[in-house]
Structure 1
Amino acid sequence: MLPEKLANKIHQRKTENALRTLGTSLPLTDFSSNDYLGFSKSEQLFNAAHAYLAANNIKHNGAAGSRLLSGNHSLYPKLEHMLSEFHNSEAALIFNSGYDANIGLFSSLPQRGDVVLYDEHIHASIRDGISMSHAKAYKFKHNNLTHLGELLKRYQQSDTIYVVTESVFSMDGDSPDLVQLSNLCKTYQAYLIIDEAHAIGILGNNGSGLVQATGLEQHVFARLVTYGKALGCHGAAVLGSKALKQYLINFSRSFIYTTALPPHSLAAIQAAYQELPSHIKRAQLHENIKHFKKDHFGCASLMMTRN
């Protein structure tokens, strides 16, 4: 039996018809998952990942421990170098998931005396990470740069200011003006962090995201890219400077105290990236988005293709 307070919370969810349950996938057209390009069900990508492991004589074994101990497989530096090249970033650090990446970044980066300004529609994982830090945090109205400017001016005497947003918001499918946002952060010497979870694979040249599409790679302090959405596999990465990567390796608890991804997960990420430049389903997805926007159906960024 649950303690009474917890049981009451479950009962309240039931009465509000909001109780979460786990179900199985049904053979229907997909309007709810993050598998935008159908990569998670692609036999071609599955076979490519296994072929890469076989060609490099890598056994399909599991992980051995934390990357700081025995889990830093030789595929990690190769993949992180490829990610840096693809995303025009000085360095990349792989995490086990987007949630782990956001928790690890935002719990360790902001310090006491710092201020975090975040879009009110920001993802729960970022909110959770911020709440674990010692910094003060304030939300600004969704995509409202005027309100953000007011907060930047108000807190400009803080030790360090971090501004956090997403390049594509998952629920509404909209985006901030990244160029104006970047310029505003420059004015107040704030560090800009952008979560690109719903842009990777979908937007920008070869699906590289909106930061690169707007040429802001060198003006964004950190980018988060996740692989459990359009790329159909598992894991995530923080893109930034070599100094940021070194800091996270030393202080990000969700990176330090967890078992590393196994080799086949790394091979799957690599296979998905290699598929992006020529993948025709990206064009098909955008045609679907136009169709549903024309007919006033829901959020454009969540329109899915079916395999």
Structure 2
Amino acid sequence: MSKVLLKLAQKLADREAQGNLRQLKTAAGLTDFCSNDYLGLARSDKLKKLIREELEKQEHWTVGATGSRLLSGNTALTEDLEKQIAMYHQAEAALLYNSGYVANVGLLSAVPQRGDTIFYDEASHASIKDGIRLSFAKAYPFRHNSLEDLRQKLKHAAGQVFVVVESVYSMDGDKAPLQELVEVCQEPEAALIVDEAHAVGLYGPKGEGLTTALGLDKEVFARVLTYGKAMGCHGAAIVGPAILRDFLINFSRSFIYTTALPAHDVLALQCAYHLLPHLHEERAQVQKLADYLYKELNNAAHIRCTPQHSVILSVFVHDAQQLKPLALALQNEGFDIRPVMSPTVPKGTERLRLIVHTFNTQQEIDGLVQAIKRHT
């Protein structure tokens, strides 16, 4: 074995010894308490039918996009969808990206310049942190949802200031204090960037996201919308001022140098947006089920879970080494539950991450809670 392969093997062995080795798994036939398909759109027959009907109307669509947007991959269909997205989210303009990860990397590596300062919530996605690493700006984390820590750090900022948060955080399901953040950002004229990955579809009058639900669209510099979660599709968009869109087209490397989304993905998003305003019952149902799960978990004195915030709940155990056997036991009882280990979360905060969906039932939740009680 070559030296490089020996090094890689040793790194894998170290991770396995720590109990954190990642492996790919399938989950056929299990009850879904794991995926981000909050509203069930990824499995929706109505959405599938709409997509098929729209595809049949397209006379000259290609299977692949054939190139980047700046070469052969741009279409009127894509530009029409971007206009629809901008209008839906009450923004001047929108720009499609191939995923939420790609969007965050493309935005944060391009917009903050050398001499600028970025402050980001320490609980932010890996994609936010990776985009910041590629920026020439200086960057500092602040304590999760701590306005006071952010205020103190803003005193030492230089250049244009950017503050980056998620509206709903992916592990604990808690919300950023967006109204207060807008106020904190006013005095230093900091540009607030909000990742709405886990809020789009679930919050707002038509599922526009938490920023719209709070009436803060005009106060936020840019929003990242991810479509692989509640929207049940693929891709992402950055919405904000029209000049931001023009800037990203010219300077965002993850947009410039990648093949565009194909027509099928664009049409799927168009159809999902057609359904989204009418999913009031689904939004209410998933929150009702999340409330029920939280109540049932808290009826067991020995189960420790995150405070009730959203459709995302985390269950903690005393010893992180117990998490994988616990998840396996729950899977063997028919529940698709996954452990979240370090380094995805900091050491000491490993957990089972539970996701509630509109297609889950109270009976399934009862069965899950009883199974957790039996194995903890």
Deviations 1:233-260 (A, max 9, x none): 1000000001000000000000000100
Deviation at 1:200, TM superposition (A): 0.2
Distance 1:25 1:282 in 2: 25
SS at match of 2:164: strand
Q: Does 1:304 align with 2:356?
A: yes
What residue is the counterpart of 2:232 in the other structure? 232
Which of structures 1 and 2 has the larger relative contact order (alpha carbons within 8 angstroms, sep 6+)?
A: 1
AA aligned opposite 2:356: M
- Does the CA contact (< 8 Å) of 1:163 and 1:192 recur in 2? yes
Q: Does 1:291 align with 2:292?
A: yes
SS at match of 2:118: strand
What residue is the counterpart of 2:116 in the other structure? 114
TM-score normalised to structure 1 length: 0.96
State which of 60, 66, 69 in structure 1 corresponds to 2:68: 66
RMSD of aligned Cα (Å): 1.4
Q: 1:159 to 1:97 in 2, by over 3 A?
A: same
Distance 2:283 2:18 in 1: 38
Number of aligned residues: 305
Distance 1:50 1:84 in 2: 25
- Does the CA contact (< 8 Å) of 1:196 and 1:210 recur in 2? yes
Deviation at 1:53, TM superposition (A): 2.6
The farther-off stretch of 17-26 and 91-100 is: 17-26
The higher radius of gyration belongs to 2
- Does the CA contact (< 8 Å) of 1:67 and 1:260 recur in 2? yes
Distance 2:191 2:60 in 1: 40
Aligned counterparts, 1:22-101, within 5 A: 22-59=24-61, 61-101=63-103
Distance 1:4 1:58 in 2: 50
Deviation at 1:277, TM superposition (A): 1.4
Distance 2:311 2:62 in 1: 35
TM-score normalised to structure 2 length: 0.79
SS at match of 1:225: strand
Distance 1:304 1:289 in 2: 6
The farther-off stretch of 40-49 and 70-79 is: 40-49
Deviations 1:176-211 (A, max 9, x none): 211110011011110000000000001111111110
Gapped runs of 5+ residues in structure 1? none
Deviation at 1:289, TM superposition (A): 1.0
Report sequence identity in percent.
49
SS at match of 1:206: coil
SS at match of 1:138: strand
What residue is the counterpart of 1:159 in the other structure? 159
What residue is the counterpart of 1:150 in the other structure? 152
Deviation at 1:8, TM superposition (A): 1.3
Deviation at 1:58, TM superposition (A): 4.4
Q: 1:99 to 1:161 in 2, by over 3 A?
A: same
- Does the CA contact (< 8 Å) of 1:170 and 1:301 recur in 2? no
SS at match of 2:199: coil
What residue is the counterpart of 1:215 in the other structure? 215
Distance 1:227 1:181 in 2: 25
State which of 4, 7, 16 in structure 2 corresponds to 1:5: 7
SS at match of 1:296: helix
- Does the CA contact (< 8 Å) of 2:287 and 2:311 recur in 1? no
What residue is the counterpart of 2:327 in the other structure? none
Distance 1:166 1:234 in 2: 19
